Amino acid sequence: MPIEKILIAKNGKKFYVKDSSKDLHTEFGYIRSADLKSKDGTVLKTNTGKELSIFSASFIDSYRRIRRGPQTVSLKDIGIIVAETGINKKSKIVDAGAGSGALACFLANIVKEVTTYDIREDFLEIVKKNIEFLELKNIEAKNKSIYNGIDEKNIDLITLDLPEPWMAINAAEKALKHGGFIISFSPSIPQTMDFVNEINKSPNFVCLKIIELIEREWELEERKVRPKSRMIGHTGFLTFVRKI
């Protein structure tokens, strides 16, 4: 079951309601179960008088609460994958490794179908729990090495987030449609180098670009306006490849 409702304070602090048949306890006191059934936009008061607005949770609210095992692809990096490939409700996607299933689940929410591969059964358990939690029906998780071949055909996008992405190139070539994309995510440059050098040897692929996305958040309080002193320094490098 996904998250039911969100309660949000004026300072942006959020509370997640998984089961509105129970009272919700927060650091600002509690809200009674009966109040949790109020209509969206209602301002509720905790027993200590703190005001919290309530609304129904969206996909992204539940997504932020998925289980995390292996390091997941961050939202900023998912954003550019979606934007640069233009994937949509007609798209078929293959993803490896599944890891926590974060990238695969996010994509499944916007495309036709996703198949995600992983060699670790214990990680696939996490992935399956996340698929159930988000109530996604168009995603399959397979216990298989993507280096040994991709069963699916006519694929629009293959996302790779694993240690040796170059070892998936042959399988990707057979599974992708012409004009289809591979996007490889690697935390470090040696993997990116080996992947791109291998892609460049193939007459059937073109490497479009290698990027790193840096997100810097700002704080704004009256006239105190400046970048936050802490930021996420580095996630990984994204390599965009197209089958020709």
Residues in the site for ligand SAH, rule: CB under 6 A? 70, 72-73, 96-97, 99-103, 117-120, 123, 145-147, 161-163
* Nearer Cβ to ligand SAH (142/243): 142
Query: Beta strand pairing status for 5-8 and 43-45?
Result: unpaired
* Nearer Cβ to ligand SAH (52/107): 107
* Nearer Cβ to ligand SAH (24/105): 105
* Nearer Cβ to ligand SAH (5/236): 236
* Closest residue by beta carbon to ligand SAH: 97
Q: Are 202 and 173 in contact (CB under 8 A)?
A: yes
Quote the least distance from Cβ 71 to ligand SAH, whole Å.
6
Quote the least distance from Cβ 93 to ligand SAH, whole Å.
12
Phi, psi of 125 (to 5 degrees): -65, -45
Residues with Cβ within 8 Å of 222's Cβ and at least 6 positions away in sequence, in order, are: none
Phi, psi of 12 (to 5 degrees): 95, -10
Quote the least distance from Cβ 45 to ligand SAH, whole Å.
38
* Nearer Cβ to ligand SAH (41/163): 163
Quote the least distance from Cβ 162 to ligand SAH, whole Å.
4
